Amino acid sequence: MPAKVLVTGGLGYIGSHTSVELIQQGFEIIIVDDLSNSSIHVLEGIKRITGVIPEFIQLDLKNKEKVNQLFKNYPEISGTIHFAASKAVGESVNQPLAYYENNIGSLIHLLQAIEDKGQAFSFIFSSSCTVYGQADQLPITEMEPIKKAESPYGNTKQIGEDILFDNTKSNDHLKVISLRYFNPIGGHSSLEIGELPKGKPQNLIPFITQTAAGIHQKINVFGDDYPTRDGTCIRDYIHVVDLAKAHVVGLKRIYSNEQNENFEVFNLGTGKGKSVLEVIKTFEKVSGLLLNYEIVDRRAGDVVEAYADTSKANKILGWQAKNNLEEGLKTAWQWEKKIRNL
């Protein structure tokens, strides 16, 4: 069993669920998070599920000196799952420089510290289906050409993958798996952790659950004139616990020296595309509520349709998504009701 795994952004939505899975699989972890889009209370939730309080350090990875100090203080870190990044497509269009500084700067500081270590190192990168832009063919395979990104956020994931790929060529010690996820939803069945967006949510599902909880008056559906079955955008919604489990499988693959190459990529999704209106209707079915929504203009940076071909992850990692859209929406709504005391 490896020494210690650094989970950056480990109190965030996907990071916290992955931290739980890592602990349950016997990994010792150190969580680093700057708490810019997460809460210290998530640590308690992780403890209630696992019985373990993971080591936590509040740290901004943009601070190079502090990153170097972290690796000096914890020489036993032999792998990382790197979640820490800003992640809203729309926001990135308005604040590109902040996104490049945070998402690329942090990654470079981490990799420089890893290179200075000069030891075998396992790296799981939190990537995104946004690297594909508007794909020519659906479902999207890992062989799909990487197109010009539709948003600065998507571009930071493309650049991040390029930086990691180049690094595996220059640093023999570095082994990388980049996981390109589609749209994570839902929460842990214990309802101890879930999605906690700060401010107005940028993603569809928390916006739906918050609207159902009375926080927002209505849901804006950005465009109904797309070339899809009902005119709204189509995405592949994957349950966050399924996603979390894939990170652990990927990490074990590197630690067991099972990689075919030092840089590998895998799509993580369900393989099924659902439109915005279908998601709203499914939520209404699961919750028994009627949602108020309004069709508004298209939003910059949105691709029309994206859903995954997951056969590579199914075959090579032995992983597949177990939960469907209903299950994801059900846990998302139960979590929302819990945190709102509804």
pTM, whole model, 2 decimals? 0.96
Of 164, 153, 165, 114, the residue nearest 6 (C-alpha)? 114
**Looking at 13, 132, 153, 307, which residue is catalytic?**
153
* Confidence check: pLDDT of 199 > 90: no
pLDDT of residue 186: 98
Mean pLDDT computed over every residue of the chain: 95
Of 50, 101, 56, 53, the residue nearest 74 (C-alpha)? 56
Mean pLDDT check: name the lowest of 22-31, 143-152, 250-259, 289-298.
Answer: 143-152
Of 176, 204, 209, the residue nearest 289 (C-alpha)? 209
| Percentage, residues of the chain above pLDDT 90 | 89
Residues 31 and 7: their CA atoms lie apart, in Å, by: 5
Give the tokens for residue 183.
């749209």
* Confidence check: pLDDT of 2 > 70: no
Q: Could you tell me the pLDDT band of residue 213, with boundaries at 50, 70 and 90? A: very high
pLDDT digits (tens, 9 = 90+) for 60-88: 999 999 999 999 999 999 999 999 999 88
User: Would you say domain 4-185+239-268 falls under CATH 3.30.70.270?
Assistant: no
Please tell me whether residue 206 adopts helix, strand or coil conformation: helix
Fold of 204-235+271-335: UDP-galactose 4-epimerase; domain 1 (3.90.25)
Domain ranges of the chain: 4-185+239-268, 204-235+271-335
Any residues with CB less than 8 A from the CB of 70 and at least 6 apart, and which?
6, 32, 57, 59, 113
153 is catalytic: yes
Q: Could you tell me the pLDDT band of residue 3, with boundaries at 50, 70 and 90? A: low
Give yes or no on whether 4-185+239-268 and 204-235+271-335 have one common fold. no
**59-63: long-range contacts, CB 8 A cutoff, minimum separation 24:** 59/32, 59/33, 59/34, 60/34, 60/36, 61/8, 61/32, 61/34, 61/105, 61/106, 61/109, 61/110, 62/101, 62/102, 62/105, 62/106, 62/109, 63/109
pLDDT digits (tens, 9 = 90+) for 157-198: 999 999 999 999 999 999 999 999 999 999 999 999 999 988
